[in-house]
Structure 1
Amino acid sequence: MKKAKNIIAIIEVILAFSPPIFSQNSIQLIEFWTDGNSESRTRQTISAASVFSWQDEINLATLVDGLHTFNARFKDEYGVWSPVETLFFVKQTNALGQGKLKKITALEYWMNGNSSNRTQRILNAQTTFAWEEL
């Protein structure tokens, strides 16, 4: 639940500093998903009269402990979608310092939303990775 509150706080900051287009147009639809799984995204229609509660909509219970992404985008009254906002967060259900030390062992990345052509890399003590090599 603490992670969901952190995500909510970050989204509120993003919305507060969004370009003026959001203050002139009204948001009609919100889409969000986790870990790049846009096929199971949640869509929520909203209006100026409705109150949208992120706490009621975001379910992190099915996520395992570890590093995750939260993705969201917004559609305005003209049918224009905002860019996808992606936030990284760590879900940890045990107290810090307890349990098994977790290390990042792999990564994957893709460009321009083309996740079907993603690049995957395995990471360990013998193999290093520099983002500059992209």
Structure 2
Amino acid sequence: MKAAVNRHPGCDYKGKTRGLNDAMELLQGKWKVLIIAVLCCRGRKRFTELQQEVEGISARMLTRELQVLELNQLVQRTVCSTKPVTVQYEITPYGKTLEQIVMQLMDWGLGHRRRIMSATLSVSSLPDSSPLCAQPDN
């Protein structure tokens, strides 16, 4: 029987799957990575500004996602003593550790969109804002 070749010496795949599962569970869903990207790229935002930047998210969902991100120390919530009271959100220094990963995902996603759209005429009529993930026809 042929022995498996480790393409990345020193990579303990089996030992790191728990970390990958944790990261995927925390960042799962449609909105968390987008919220992180907005706060990394645009800086501190009030709730309504953030809702406008993350197109399509409801106030209820944004509240829920921000709570999860805050509990996991990725986002900081600050209540300002203004009249009326305003709340601002910003990425924490710990949350900033995801910035490079999120930027790489954005770049990869744009490249993937171009690749699939140029290879598949049937999706070339999609607007640039449409999600794109090639799926087999059933």
Bigger Rg, structure 1 or 2: 2
- Higher helix fraction (1 or 2): 2
Q: Calculate the TM-score normalised by the size of structure 2.
A: 0.24
Q: Calculate the TM-score normalised by the size of structure 1.
A: 0.24
- Higher strand fraction (1 or 2): 1
